[in-house]
Amino acid sequence: MAYDRPSFYLTFGGPLYPSASQHEQWQTGVRFTSQTGHLLDEYLGALQAISIADILEDCTQLIHGDLLAGLTWSPVVGIEWAKLVVLDVDGTYAGAPKLQEQTAALGSGGVTMLPPQCAAVVSTWSGNTFGRANRGRCYLPAPSSWLASALVTDPRPSVTQTNYLRDAFRTWLGQVAGEISTVGLPTFPAIMSSLGTGTTNPIIRVSAGRVIDTMRSRRSSLDEAYVWATYP
């Protein structure tokens, strides 16, 4: 199995509850690629022209709540780094990635926060109904403004807050897409599958779900701290 072309893979993230547990981190990522026919060396050359510092600034604006008034993350959520790497068709790193780090920029919202295994989900879609590489997901820490909008009669975040996340992510995606696309190698956000001969589709729809999800991998990494009692 292999992808049908090389790609850029952008990941970014930072700490969760940094005062309580420095080891807790969150991260998410999106792929960017070009039309077929471009060689791996073209991606590696384009990487040198891309400013990872500007990309980290875009990511910081998203988590700090600067892209859309009304959508905020708690100050226990931070954005600390962004990394861009070229992936070969076998999915492995092709050369060294570009990495930019900063002192964690914390969210500007209320301190109320769900446990770190809970996440908001942004879904991406190619617009196609059938076939491969049609849908993708990005997990983000649940915004604190989501919690404030939930009701006793409906414990989900409001439609307004959910749409705020959708719109902020869409704005962010457009910003970083502009940073990554170059004159020599025009690229687009993509959903990619390595099954069979590989399939690539551009992202043309973005949405956010109202049901707060659970990241099983993060849930499994937390210490339950069981204290057993004898019975009877």
What pLDDT digit, counting tens, does each position of 68-105 carry? 888 999 998 999 999 999 999 999 999 999 999 999 99
pLDDT < 50 regions, the chain: none
- Give bridge partners of residue 27 from the DSSP assignment: 13
Backbone angles phi, psi at 21, to 5 degrees: -155, 100
Domain boundaries, the chain: 7-221
Residue 62 confidence (pLDDT): 92
Backbone angles phi, psi at 72, to 5 degrees: -135, 150
0.95 cut: is pTM over it? no
pLDDT tens digits, 202-230: 999 999 999 888 766 555 566 777 888 99
Residue 114 confidence (pLDDT): 77
Question: How far is Cα of residue 209 from the mean position of the Cα atoms in its chain?
Answer: 14
DSSP assigned state of 158: P
d(CA 213, CA 192): 23
d(CA 4, CA 13): 28
> Half-sphere exposure of residue 13, counting CA atoms within 13 Å on the CB side?
17
Beta strands in 55-198 (DSSP E): 78-87, 98-106, 118-125, 135-141, 188-193
DSSP assigned state of 93: B
Residue 148 confidence (pLDDT): 83
Residue 3 confidence (pLDDT): 93
Cα torsion at 150, 156, 160, 166 (round to 10°)? 130
